[in-house]
Amino acid sequence: MSGHSKWATIKHKKGAADAKRGKLFAKLIKQVEVAARQGGGDPDANPTLRTMFQKARDNSVPLDTIERAVKRGTGELEGVNYETVTYEGYAPGGIALLIECLTDNRNRTSGDVRSTLSKNGGSLAEPGAVSWQFERKGVLLVPSSVEEDEVMLVALDAGAEDIVDEGEMWRVTTPPSDLPQVREALDEAGIAVESADLAMLPTSTVEVTDVAQVKGLMKLMDLLDDLDDVQDVHGNMDVSDELMDEASA
C-alpha cells in the first residue's frame, strides 16, 4: 500500500476535524467558486463544479453558502478573483510533492509555501521537476465493511478504473471526468461514499522505512495543508501500514 493512499484516508479524517473549526469550509467554498468561474455555474455541464459542490455538501457546508459561492464565481455576485497555482517541491529523502493552491496573492502564497518547506527540511523545485510523476484521477473512499465484489461491480460498470484495499477503506479511482457518474452509481446502489474528490496520484513511489522520517513527512504535509491558500498536498512516498500506524500513534 502506498503512503500517498494512506495519506488520503488520514486527510479525510483530518478534514472532519478541520470542519469543526471552519477551516475546511473556507477551502471548499473557494474551490466551488473557482470551479464555477472556470467552467460555468451549471453543475450538469461542469463536472468539476459538480464534484466540488457535492464535496462541500458532504462536509455539511450550507446549501445557500455554496450557491453564493457559485454566483461569485459566475460574476452574479462580487467576489475575489482567485487563481490556481501549483507548486512543486521535495520533502526530506527526495519525496516529490505537488502543492495545489488557490490564491489572490501569488507572492504571499509562494512565500508561505517556501518558508514551510525550508523550515522542515524541504525545498521548492522548478516547474515540471516533479509533476511528471503524478496523474490526475478521481478518488472515492468507500468503507471496507462493504463487500469488495459489490463495490467493484457497481464502480467498474460506471467507469471506474481500479479499486485498492486501504484497510479501513476501498479506494476507487476513476478518470477525472467520470468521478460524478461513479459517485452517483454508488449512491444509487446504496453504497456509502466517505469522500469523493479529484487528486494527483503518483505513477512511481519512493519507499520510506524509517519511522522518524515518516513522522517528519506527515508533519510537513500537515503544515502545508494548514496554509490558508493551500487546497491539497500530494506526495509519492510509499509507507507500510505498520509504519504509518506507528508514526500516527
Which sequence spans correspond to the domains of the chain?
Answer: 3-74, 83-132+205-248, 133-202
- The CATH class of 83-132+205-248 is alpha beta
Q: Radius of gyration (Cα) for the chain, nearest Å? A: 18
Confidence (pLDDT) at 192 = 93
Mean pLDDT of the chain: 88
Residue 145, classed as helix, strand or coil, is coil
CATH architecture of the domain covering 133-202 = 2-Layer Sandwich (3.30)
Question: pTM for this structure?
Answer: 0.83
Equal fold, 3-74 vs 133-202: no
Could you give the CA distance from residue 152 to residue 104 in angstroms, rounded to a whole number?
A: 41
Which CATH superfamily is 3-74 part of? Integrase, N-terminal zinc-binding domain (1.10.10.200)
Q: How many CB atoms lie within 10 A of CB 144?
A: 14
Confidence (pLDDT) at 25 = 86
* E-state strands within the chain: 83-91, 95-103, 123-124, 134-143, 162-165, 169-174, 195-202, 206-207, 230-235, 237-238
The sign of the CA dihedral 201, 25, 57, 74 is negative
- pLDDT at position 63 over 60: yes
Residue of 80 and 73 predicted with greater confidence: 73
- pLDDT at position 21 over 70: no
Confidence (pLDDT) at 49 = 94
